[in-house]
Structure 1
Amino acid sequence: MARERREPRTLLEYLIQQSDRTYEELAEEFSRLDSRAAISARHLGRLARGERDLSGSTPATRRALQAMFGRPVDELQRPWAPENPSSVPEQRGPLALPGTGPERTILAMAAQRARKYAMLAAEATTPAAIQQLAEDVQRLALAYPQQPVNQLIGDLAETQDTLFTLLERRQPPNQSRDLHFVAGITSGLLAKVSHDLADPHAAMLQTRTAVLCAEQAGHPGLQAWLRGMQSLVAYWAGRYAEAVRYAEAGREHATEAGGTTAVWLPANAARAYAALGNAEQAKAAISEAEQAWTRVRPDDLDAMGGICTFNQSRTLYYAADALAWLPDQATAAEDYATRAVAAYADPHDPAWAFGDQAGSHTDLAIARIAGRDLDAATDALTPVLELPAEQRINGIVHSVRRVHQAVTRAGLTADARDLVDGIEHFTHTPANALPR
């Protein structure tokens, strides 16, 4: 028996019903209209039912909704009034056009399947096919710091499956090395996905597989980068001594490769040392990371860009993140954090990363709490608390909780009630709690 369609509560809900598409399908298409926009099916449903106010959404979200439904955003949440003929919308905007509904999703899936078939059809993989895979992975590496992970998981998993299928066949040595290199990066990216969704066990499994690929590729830069990824996962999982060991294990490979991972590894170690309370080692590691820039020779891993390369902005953020652990380094932490916040101020900068930007703001808040300036700390943290749920990845949630801990340690909980409430509301719905 067919389910009776309920009366729409808003114009937005009416339009969604008329599109005859699920909330999941609409949410999947959402980010294609604006690369900076993302929404979950659950949040779209709340907006449609009038349970959430569109005025509180990000500008990118409002632009994408307007483009998707062909109506101004202030009109989309007006109460639905079926008795008023003028409230019935004419079919206009993207939903009325062919090729923007389920057809486009089907075509995208067909294109992806065709690409996979072309790569798997031949017994030996052609250089052109490997180049296409490398370009696919580079696109994902560039997108990773700037887009919510739920927009990238599908492509990453599909690419990894294709690569592993190819590697299960006998390949000429040169092609095998190139495929292992690309597979190592892809598995490293999936390790980061697992970490961002608060699954350190899956993250470490992916990195171990990736390290095997890097060894088969004979690529020291990739081996060093993956040790850095293992160090990162261990750090955010609270295994600080292990994080130091992974960072140290990658140094020999980083020196041989000469890429920016030679900066990332001591920066990783600095944060872990600081979390362990070893201030001298932490400061020495920060100094080592800064000095390593004079010896960097970008390699082909750096050429992938995005998350595969370490930049000056991240150096500032990691230094701030390390020093924020050390109460007697609050002044230095505030200096690094202020510079990092400025470095991440432009979302159109290719080096911009929403996670590192958020971390820089939380470190600035912690440093200001140490100075007992709650108003300034609240100003620093507010942009983070306004992040949509899709961007509340594991590292950001942990960083926000560190601000809560700083307030408690400083004995300022009673004076910071609004700030504490905002933090607790933010951490209630991390990205890994959203339906996927």
Structure 2
Amino acid sequence: MARPRREPRTVLEHLIQQRDRTYEEMAADFERLDERATISARHLARLARGERGTAGATPATRRALQALFGVPLDELLRPWVPTPTTTALATDGSLVLPSSGDERNIITMAAERARRFTLLAAESTTPESVDQLREDVQRLALAYPQRPLTELLGDLAETQDTLFALLERRQTPQQARQLHFLASVTSGLLAKASHDLADPHAAMLQARTAILCADQADHNGLRAWLRGLQSMVAYWAGRYAEAVRYAEMGTAFANQGSGTTTVWLPVSLARAYAALGNGDKALAAVRNAEDAWESVRPDDMDELGGICTFTRPRTLYYAADALAWLPNEADNAVSYSTRAVAAYSDTTDPAWAFGDEAGSRTDLAIARIASRQIEGAAEALAPVLDLAPEQRINGIISSAQRVHQAVTRAGLANDGRELIEQIEDFTLTPLKALPR
């Protein structure tokens, strides 16, 4: 009489049981997916029983597990909870649909498994796999300004790992250039993610890796965009002269093309010059950025969209950010920041970005404080202070702290005590403090 099967302890153990295969047979499948992915039957069994965490798994092993089961390793190691709609697998490994209720999850899982198989199981990179990766990178670029980083970081790291794994294999020159371009963009997104988590060291490391890949792709628009990222990281780290230097380096590449980086770099210069107290250069840079819109023609970076393209609302926000540093430009700061807040009022607009809207509102608050309008400043800042901790990225926290400083420097600490307390409470829980 056959012994009853043990209740599975993890999702991985459940899926292996559904396939009715031994751990030895499953471990043997790994090398067929990725020659660098090896795992012993004993190690696989311990993972399935929940005795080992994700830390001991190499990137290649994680990729192979996800390719085999269509689920990331973190999900595979979660405790298994039986439900009426639990996905089952036939003895040949094919999916068995439940009677109702969970079809969308099955479709998502199957699509992810197919994507991973297409990217990593083939002997050589195919045009289809490059197209899939470009679609993945574009999806992340579009989502980045509008969704919390906590929802994207895993996908970003996984996409970068996949691209690096493919670049370690032999590629045709054309495919190598395409993969280096995508790896550079993804590393740039991770540089921004590191900055948002208040880790400028990691941000610059990712940016340097991205620049190395951009050089291999030989793409000036990409080089210009990455220098803009470095300028942004340096600006928010308080290294304003360094921010100027990176923006000037990027300008040399941007001027060889006509993409929106030709706007981003001069208006980035404006912020850095203003923070250094050089009002004349800051105002000249704002004018240069506005004039640059007359000759913009979208390039490959702009075609990706999202964080990879610079928009007119962001121009208003950056200009407002620059003018907020300059006491003699209080009226212009109110004008630019008011227009920026209005430009970001429609959350369905593809150009909307929660971080840029928050920055525009903090600039408006600072401009109103310069006119001693504490109530107006509090009104401008209220939506920012309502942001969830998952959206409290480094730039937003820094911007809120600038409002705090503006209140105290204007001698309005008594009148603005409630606003000061609200800002202090808000900045106690930045995104970087959340468990990950």
TM range (shorter): 0.7 to 0.9
- In structure 2, distance between residues paired with 1:257 and 1:329: 32
Which residue number in structure 2 is paired with residue 406 of structure 1? Answer: 406
Report the AA paired with residue 348 of structure 1.
T
Which residue number in structure 1 is paired with residue 251 of structure 2? Answer: 251
Query: 1:20-52 CA distances to partner (integer Å, 9 max, x unpaired)?
Result: xxxxxxxxxxxxxxxxxxxxxxxxxxxxxxxxx
Query: 1:51-90 CA distances to partner (integer Å, 9 max, x unpaired)?
Result: xxxxxxxxxxxxxxxxxxxxxxxxxxxxxxxxxxxxxxxx
Which residue number in structure 2 is paired with residue 57 of structure 1? Answer: none
Q: What is the TM-score with the length of structure 2 in the denominator?
A: 0.75
Secondary structure of 1:256's aligned partner: coil
- In structure 2, distance between residues paired with 1:111 and 1:167: 23
Indicate conservation of the 8 Å contact 1:124/1:172, yes or no: no
1:167 aligns with 2:167: yes
Task: List aligned pairs for 1:100-119, cutoff 5 A.
Answer: 104=105, 111-119=111-119
Query: 1:235-290 CA distances to partner (integer Å, 9 max, x unpaired)?
Result: 00111100000000011110112100010011111111111111111111111111
Which residue number in structure 2 is paired with residue 295 of structure 1? Answer: 295
- In structure 1, distance between residues paired with 2:257 and 2:150: 32
Which residue number in structure 1 is paired with residue 102 of structure 2? Answer: 99
- Summarize the Cα distance change of 1:109–1:273 in structure 2 as closer, same or farther, 3 Å threshold: farther
1:280 aligns with 2:280: yes
Which residue number in structure 1 is paired with residue 215 of structure 2? Answer: 215
Deviation of 1:98 (Å): 4.3
Which residue number in structure 1 is paired with residue 350 of structure 2? Answer: 350
Which residue number in structure 2 is paired with residue 123 of structure 1? Answer: 123
Indicate conservation of the 8 Å contact 1:393/1:431, yes or no: yes
1:312 aligns with 2:312: yes
Which residue number in structure 2 is paired with residue 24 of structure 1? Answer: none
Indicate conservation of the 8 Å contact 1:317/1:359, yes or no: yes
Deviation of 1:127 (Å): 1.1
Indicate conservation of the 8 Å contact 2:115/2:132, yes or no: no
1:338 aligns with 2:338: yes
Report the AA paired with residue 200 of structure 1.
P
Deviation of 1:305 (Å): 0.4
Report the AA paired with residue 116 of structure 1.
R
Which residue number in structure 2 is paired with residue 137 of structure 1? Answer: 137
Query: 1:176-231 CA distances to partner (integer Å, 9 max, x unpaired)?
Result: 11101111111000111111111111111100000011110011000000000000
Query: 1:77-115 CA distances to partner (integer Å, 9 max, x unpaired)?
Result: xxxxxxxxxxxxxxxxxxxx7438xx94x9756653542
- In structure 1, distance between residues paired with 2:337 and 2:301: 27
Which residue number in structure 1 is paired with residue 197 of structure 2? Answer: 197
Gaps of 5+ in 1: 1-96
- In structure 2, distance between residues paired with 1:251 and 1:295: 15
- In structure 2, distance between residues paired with 1:281 and 1:201: 28
Which residue number in structure 2 is paired with residue 177 of structure 1? Answer: 177
1:271 aligns with 2:271: yes
- In structure 2, distance between residues paired with 1:350 and 1:136: 18
Report the AA paired with residue 175 of structure 1.
Q
- In structure 2, distance between residues paired with 1:184 and 1:112: 23
Task: List aligned pairs for 1:18-33, cutoff 5 A.
Answer: none
Greater relative CO, 1 or 2 (CA 8 Å, sep 6+): 1
- In structure 2, distance between residues paired with 1:401 and 1:326: 17
Deviation of 1:435 (Å): 1.5
Secondary structure of 1:257's aligned partner: coil
Which residue number in structure 2 is paired with residue 371 of structure 1? Answer: 371
- In structure 2, distance between residues paired with 1:160 and 1:287: 37
Report the AA paired with residue 137 of structure 1.
V
- In structure 2, distance between residues paired with 1:207 and 1:110: 34
Deviation of 1:123 (Å): 3.2
- In structure 1, distance between residues paired with 2:121 and 2:385: 49
Which residue number in structure 2 is paired with residue 68 of structure 1? Answer: none
- In structure 2, distance between residues paired with 1:108 and 1:240: 45
Query: 1:376-431 CA distances to partner (integer Å, 9 max, x unpaired)?
Result: 11111111111111110000000000000000110000111110011001000001
Which residue number in structure 1 is paired with residue 237 of structure 2? Answer: 237
Deviation of 1:122 (Å): 2.6
- Aligned-residue RMSD, C-alpha: 1.6
Q: What is the TM-score with the length of structure 1 in the denominator?
A: 0.75
Gaps of 5+ in 2: 1-99
Indicate conservation of the 8 Å contact 1:270/1:286, yes or no: yes
Report the AA paired with residue 162 of structure 1.
T
Q: Which structure is larger by alpha-carbon Rg, 1 or 2? A: 2
Which residue number in structure 2 is paired with residue 93 of structure 1? Answer: none
